Amino acid sequence: MADQQSTLVKEKTVCPFKEKCYRKNPIHFSEMSHSHLERLIEDQLYSDIILPSQLGFECPDRSALLEQLKVLQIVMRKEGRGKVHKIAGETSVDKATVSSKYSTSPKKGMESEDMQTKIEKNRQSAIEKRKSKQQENESNKKLKVESDPSLPTTSKFSQAESRESKDKSDNLVIDSFVAADKREVRFKLRDRTLARMASSGIKLKLAEPGDFAIKFALSAPYHYFFNKVEDSKVTHDQQFTVSFPELLDIGLGEIVKSLHINFMVEIGWLCLQYLLAAQPANMTIFYHEIVDPQSHLPANIKAFKVPVPTAYSSHHTKISVLKYVDGGIRVIVSTANIYSDDWKNRTQGVWVSPHLPKLPDEASSEEGESPTKFKKSFQKYLASYKHTDLNEWISIIKRADFSSVNVFFVASVPGSHKDDNFNSWGLQRISSIFSDHLILPPDASDWGMIAQASSIGSLGSSIDGWLSTDLISSMAKGKSSRINRNPSFQFVYPSSRNYASSFDCADGSCCLPYSETVHLKQQWLNRYLYVWKSDEIGRTRAIPHSKTYVRISPDQSKAAWFILTSANLSKAAWGSAAKKTRSQYIMNYEAGVVFLPQFVINESTFPLKQTSENCSILRLPYDLPLQKYKDSDEPFAH
């Protein structure tokens, strides 16, 4: 059995730190072997981990070791170690697992029989849970719509092999849902699919089609949501929570076609969301990476990989545009990739525009602009791609009425920007917006800045480098502001302890790509780090993939501005300026929205606390006051 298992697990490089390795990243464990850790849990992969009194190596912190082993346990399960096998209808487990750890015969140094019984029960419970989850996943993968003569023969799900890996032949789902022409047929198809999913044991809690229109109306004036977190039930019924099918909700309009511009896209999962919303999946996709590559796409789906200038650049934008049967559109700007992991158990932010009606035929395309010039900025961003398949969408946007939009559009485009384009992108765009429109409070010098992101770039040898001279100083600007010093800076980023207790860790997934090598060169950042804590909205265990920036009052009751964006804390995302030549260099595509109180609520500041029944608060993704890292804490890195 052991020999069979060893052939299924790819050969790994021995971790150079060996017994001194303290890392807790699943990516690290999937690439490096740690024999001293693996032998501790190889016989307890599906039970609570119990450490022996003698480890066989030096360990200054057994609690930290236990956290490390929990992550490794998940990785080893995914690799098929100690795998449960089903033979002739009976469940059997690796004999070594049973005999060495769970034997009931008394042995010196072994737990008591009562303890062993308890462990065995827990182990069997874990196995049953895992089997149930595996069956659920397999049912989801193999889902096919029952044949129905009333449905188009092209409306189906198909399964194909992934070609992402040369070494594995794992079957991955590629669902290509070709939309039915008639609305009633789509609803029938949706109902039949949900029935089949339910009969397969897949439980989905979906909002009824049409219900989101009410929730959206109540979200005014911010129209800012968090995603639903699957394993945090308290988030499911929150008024400010949205699922992907709700974004496509028929109550907001019947969709004719869609544009999705994103970093990572899982086409099969995306098509399923359209099916669950009973909307046609006629779409154009611009992406950096496809999660489920396919040999071919149906005729109503076009996908284009966006070229980037360097190996360190990325197309990181997350935007969708929906066109409705009445000719109107809706723009969605979020922090989430379009694939299942990002919408399952992570914290994401989503801004959804009001319905933007089509301008009258006699109106000029210059009409229908918002007070924030969102329309012009958005057109300029789409034009930067220089792609013919975006020309139609640019024309659609030109003919839309954006007058109800109350936020600014801010984006990054790769390249060196100067002259007329110097203030068009990245930090210089933020600086320009704030300098032209932001009225700071009289005591603004006491108002601090909080940044929150899911990754960190190379920031230099101290806070006095790019972080202060570019990012903080750009975000410190204000109209007629005479304040010369930067605000205080705090950065919310998950610690290793945060990750160890997260849903992502339990699933063996990760969305925090911060490099440990980079962090070792900028440990000064630790002085500005604050843990991820979101108890108030039920998202502490949902690792944040959101990126937010805000300036708040000393008593933390008000905000001067708020930014929701795809841009992490990095030069690549925001750009770095050469003041002498008045130019700015950016590596990534990014997009976000800027909320200024004068435009959103016609006040000088945003309320962060409910002061009256009619008070409409700006909701931050984390709890206030922030909790500083302990001396023993480190940012999660790999």
The one catalytic residue in 28, 316, 519, 638 is 316
173 neighbors 159 (Cβ within 8 angstroms): yes
Instruction: With H, G, I as helix, E, B as strand and everything else as coil, classify residue 78.
Output: helix
**Which run of H or E residues covers position 133?**
helix 113-141
Report cis status (omega within 30 of 0) of the bond before 635: no
Binding-site residue set: 318, 547
CA–chain centroid gap for 354, Å, is 23
Q: Using CA atoms, how far apart are residues 508 and 497, in angstroms rounded to an integer?
A: 15
Asked if 260 is an active-site residue, the reply is no
- Indicate the residue type of 183: R
Q: Report the candidate in 429, 436, 440, 527 with the shortest Cα–Cα distance to residue 476.
A: 440
Task: State CA 148 to chain mean position distance.
Answer: 37
Helix (H, G, I), strand (E, B) or coil at 217: helix
Residue linked to tokens 């109550």: 251
Q: Is 407 helix (H, G, I), strand (E, B) or coil?
A: coil
Nearest Cα to Cα of residue 126 among 506, 413, 388? 506
Q: Hey, what are 296's tokens?
A: 């071919």
Handedness of CA 210, 211, 214, 217 (dihedral sign): negative
Evaluate whether 151 touches 180 at the Cβ level (below 8 Å): yes
Active site residue 223: no
Q: Which of 34, 315, 519, 545 is catalytic?
A: 545
Q: Residue 393: which of 261, 555, 249, 584 has the closest Cα?
A: 261
d(CA 155, CA 121): 45
CB-based contacts of 25, cutoff 8 Å, min separation 6: 71, 499, 510, 636, 637, 638
Do 268 and 292 contact (CB within 8 A), yes or no?
A: yes
Distance CA 426, CA 43 (A): 52
Given a contact cutoff of 8 angstroms between Cβ atoms, the answer to whether 247 and 321 are in contact is no
Using an 8 Å Cβ cutoff, are 495 and 502 in contact?
A: no
Q: Which residues pair with 32 in a beta bridge?
A: 13
Q: Whose CA is closest to 545, among 555, 532, 554? A: 532
Give how far Cα 169 sits from Cα of 160, 196, 264, 350, Å. Answer: 10, 27, 22, 36
CA–CA gap between residue 97 and residue 108 (Å, rounded): 18
Angle at 234 between CA 229 and CA 235, to 5 degrees: 40
Asked if residues 138 and 69 have their Cβ atoms less than 8 Å apart, the reply is no
Decide: 448 and 630 in contact? Cβ < 8 Å. Answer: no
Alpha-carbon span 464 to 458, nearest angstrom? 13
Residue 373 Cα to chain centre, angstroms: 28
Both tokens of residue 581?
Answer: 């030549």
Annotated binding residues for substrate: 318, 547
Is residue 434 within 8 Å of residue 549, measured between CB atoms? Answer: no
H helix or E strand, kind and range, residue 304: strand 301-305
Angle made by CA atoms 244, 249, 251, in degrees to the nearest 5 = 155
Active centre residues (catalytic):
316, 545
